[in-house]
Chains A and B, each alone.
Chain A
């Protein structure tokens, strides 16, 4: 049984090397990720993978997540997703 987001929550900033993450409940079920990134072309796919991995590790099955990336490294992406999810639970 997965955990769900109960209330909208956000984490991170729009500063360089950070990522701003907003999470919301997804009543339709499943995982929806919307990503904007300054390095979309080079790393968009990789960033989505990192977000998915983090959600999986947190056992989140239903979520609507939108992220604005400002060139965050993996450790920051993981941290901001985890923070937003925990704030929304």
Chain B
């Protein structure tokens, strides 16, 4: 099933209250986090709690993604082993490399066989947060047919690059563009890094618009309060939807009349405009706007 992923909301993996409410916060996806949100002494507890939550908590159709610990740590492999058995929708792999994706893919295949899950049912979400990852997104995505999208992690990326992370985000212009373009080429979702300052509404809004304008398809959220704003920006605007519907109607009429090229409001409509209109309508339908 094709999904809308405008928001992916992070939820700390060792917090029962937040886990059991994760499905009612309106996000398209939730990321149950075993990595940064969990202290090193609670990794085992969070892994077991998240596994049980996936099996027992009602998430009301929200996509459930689990961010595991890096495979280079002593927790990563155990996370995959334990969590995959509960059949989350996807596993998010931090600091992803081709080798990591290969390992996770193979583990998922064997767990799916063992548990009787359909092959390929558990997806993979590589987290791009190193210079290596950024320069090799294409091959990282193509390592596994399970890859359905990429999340850009700007904090770790800028740390790896040895540059300062700013509110304006000029320093991640290249990374955002690279992620957006490569994901589009690979036909997977491109999810933007979260915005950390909950009190800066204007900055937050600007940041979402910037991400959308560069071609990212959604944005990670770190607080439920961020979800609605992101949805508003990423949903096609009403005007855009109306125009797209008119283009499609005009196209259908032109087809009936056997016309190849046609005009709407005095402007020629050709294949790219039709493709854009179809894309807008598809998104609007997924968002329940038409």
State the A residues within 8 Å of B (CB).
11-12, 15-18, 72-76, 78-80, 82-83, 86-87
List 18 A–B pairs whose Cβ atoms lie within 8 Å, in order of A's numbering. A11-B45, A15-B15, A15-B17, A16-B17, A17-B16, A17-B17, A72-B16, A73-B57, A75-B49, A76-B16, A76-B49, A79-B48, A79-B51, A79-B52, A83-B44, A83-B45, A83-B48, A86-B48
How many inter-chain contacts with C-beta < 8 Å in the A-B complex? 45
- Residues of B close to A79: CB separation below 8 A: 45, 48-49, 51-53
A79 to B44 Cα, complex, angstroms:
10
With an 8 A cutoff between CB atoms, is B20 at the interface?
yes
- Nearest chain B CB to A56 CB, angstrom units: 16
Task: Determine the main DSSP class of B at the interface with A.
Answer: helix
B16 contacts across to A, CB distance below 8 A: 15, 17-18, 72-73, 76
B210 CB to closest chain A CB (Å) equals: 37
- Give CA–CA (A80, B44) in the complex, Å: 10
**Assembled-state Cα–Cα distance A50/B103 (Å):** 36
B57 touches A75 (CB 8 A): yes
Interface of A is mostly: helix
A residues near B48, Cβ cutoff 8 Å: 79, 82-83, 86
A-binding residues in B (CB < 8 A): 15-17, 20, 44-45, 48-49, 51-53, 55-57
Residue from B44, B51, B53 within 8 A of A86 (CB atoms): B44
Alpha-carbon distance between A18 and B16 when the two chains are bound, in angstroms: 6
